[in-house]
């Protein structure tokens, strides 16, 4: 899966809140799931203090979560919290798992508990913000992103700004979305997920030449091309009246992503839906 496709999964899928939980439960918006060593089901926490046992269990939970073994990950989180009930990152990860399982009420409670332990938990702020955005609680979501941007430890504000901008776009606040996404772009101009969403934003605003500029930056790199990026490019070219460009992009969609919903939409001529 391309880097952009992974970013789109994070920002669009109903099942997962974020791209993935990294080894410290940090969630990224651009690099996709962090590669984890496969969990060893026979692994046992080392004998020692409770904090160490909790950390070992948390690491196992993160690995299981990355591999999609949600129920097993949840069991490991429970063991981590049994050992250390004040382990904030465990509540954050529990929220991600519960949200992935569709346990929305429990997920929100977990994110809130993580933030009660540490109100400046950057990961929990971002994850809770995206959770709220997924549930169309846009003002609350924006407040979480604002708090995340104010955390001094936020060394990659472009990722928070990306999530904030996409959420603002979902809310229909296109001017605010443009400000957030452009701030992120100034920090990280080489991020293809940012370029994709800037193209999407400009498309929605009717700024098709600007949209073309951003999506071409994405599709110029083969590793970044995906069905969504080709489909957005085709829709932009359609708006610009470039029939040849539309056909070229459609041919690539059919060749490389024949079973995708984007290829199906192309075949049906659903450019304006």
**CATH no. for residue 214?**
1.25.40.10
SS3 33: coil
Question: Which range marks the domain in which residue 241 is found?
Answer: 189-273
pLDDT of residue 44: 52
Within 13-156, residue ranges assigned H as helices are: 50-66, 70-83, 88-100, 104-117, 122-134, 138-150
- pLDDT score of 194 more than 50: yes
Domain-located, residue 160: no
Top pLDDT among 240 and 15 is at 240
Phi, psi of 190 (to 5 degrees): -90, 5
Whether 84 is in a domain gets the answer: no
**Could you tell me if residue 264 is inside a domain?**
yes
Band of pLDDT at residue 49, cut at 50, 70 and 90: confident
Q: Which of 119, 128, 185, 133 is nearest to 13 (CA)?
A: 133
Structure tokens at 223: 């590793």
What gap in Å lies between CA 100 and CA 18, rounded to an integer? 10
Left (φ > 0), alpha (ψ -120 to 50) or beta: where does 172 sit? left
Give the per-residue pLDDT at 48.
52
Mean pLDDT of 39-44: 49
Cα–Cα distance for residue pair 35/26, rounded to 1 Å: 13
The better pLDDT of the pair 38, 128 is held by 128
Q: Does 43 score more than 60 pLDDT?
A: no
CB-CB neighbours of 7 under 10 Å: 28
pLDDT at 263 over 50: yes
> How many domains, in total, are found in the chain?
1
Q: Could you tell me which of 235, 215, 211, 234 has the C-alpha nearest to residue 224?
A: 215
- Per-residue pLDDT tens digits for 79-109: 999 999 999 999 999 999 999 999 999 999 9
The reply to whether 103 falls in a domain is: no
Q: Could you tell me if residue 234 is inside a domain?
A: yes
Two tokens, residue 200: 């999407």
The answer to whether position 28 is within a domain reads no
Q: Residue 205: pLDDT above 90?
A: yes
Residue 20 scores a pLDDT above 70: no
What integer pLDDT is reported at residue 39 of this predicted model? Answer: 47
Query: Please, what sign has the CA dihedral across residues 225, 99, 94, 153?
Result: positive
Question: In this predicted structure, what is the pLDDT of residue 273?
Answer: 82
pTM, rounded to two decimals: 0.81
Residue 25 pLDDT class (50, 70, 90 cuts)? very low
Q: How many residues appear in the chain?
A: 273
pLDDT value at 28 more than 60 = no
CA distance 17 to 71: 16
Res 24 pLDDT > 80: no
Report the half-sphere exposure of 158 (CA within 13 A, side-chain side).
17
What's the whole-number average pLDDT of the chain? Answer: 86
pLDDT band for 246, please (50, 70, 90 cuts).
Answer: very high
What kind and span of H or E run contains 162? helix 157-170
Residue 161 and residue 180 in contact, taking contact as beta carbons nearer than 8 Å = yes
Please indicate, yes or no, if residue 261 is contained in any of the structural domains: yes
pLDDT per residue over 207-226, tens digit each? 999 999 999 999 999 999 99
Upper half-sphere CA count for residue 133 (Cβ side, 13 Å): 31
Bridge-partner residues for 27, per DSSP?
A: 21
Give residue 34's pLDDT: 32
Contact 62, 25 (CB under 8 A): yes
- Is 248 within a domain? yes
């Amino acid at each position: 899966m391309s880097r952009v496709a992974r970013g789109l999964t994070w920002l669009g899928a109903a099942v997962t809140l974020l791209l993935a939980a990294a080894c410290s439960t940090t969630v990224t918006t651009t690099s996709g799931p962090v590669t984890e060593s496969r969990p060893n089901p026979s692994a046992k926490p080392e004998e020692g203090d409770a904090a160490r046992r909790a950390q070992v269990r948390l690491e196992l939970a993160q690995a299981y979560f990355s591999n999609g073994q949600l129920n097993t990950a949840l069991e490991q989180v429970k063991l981590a919290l049994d050992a250390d009930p004040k382990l904030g990152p465990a509540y954050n990860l529990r929220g991600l798992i519960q949200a992935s399982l569709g346990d929305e009420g429990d997920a929100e409670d977990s994110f809130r508990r993580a933030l009660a332990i540490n109100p400046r938990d950057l990961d929990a702020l971002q994850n809770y913000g995206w959770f709220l955005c997924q549930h169309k609680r846009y003002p609350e979501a924006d407040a979480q992103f604002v708090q995340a941007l104010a955390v001094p430890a936020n060394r990659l504000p472009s990722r928070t700004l990306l999530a904030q901008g996409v959420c603002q776009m979902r809310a229909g606040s296109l001017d605010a979305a443009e400000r957030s996404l452009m701030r992120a772009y100034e920090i990280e101009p080489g991020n293809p997920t940012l370029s994709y969403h800037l193209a999407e934003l400009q498309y929605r605003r009717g700024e098709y030449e600007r949209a073309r500029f951003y999506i071409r930056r994405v599709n110029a790199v083969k590793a970044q091309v995906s069905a969504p990026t080709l489909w957005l490019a085709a829709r932009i070219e359609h708006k610009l009246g470039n029939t040849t460009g539309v056909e070229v992009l459609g041919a690539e969609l059919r060749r490389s992503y024949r079973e995708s919903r984007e290829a199906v939409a192309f075949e049906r001529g659903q450019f304006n839906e």
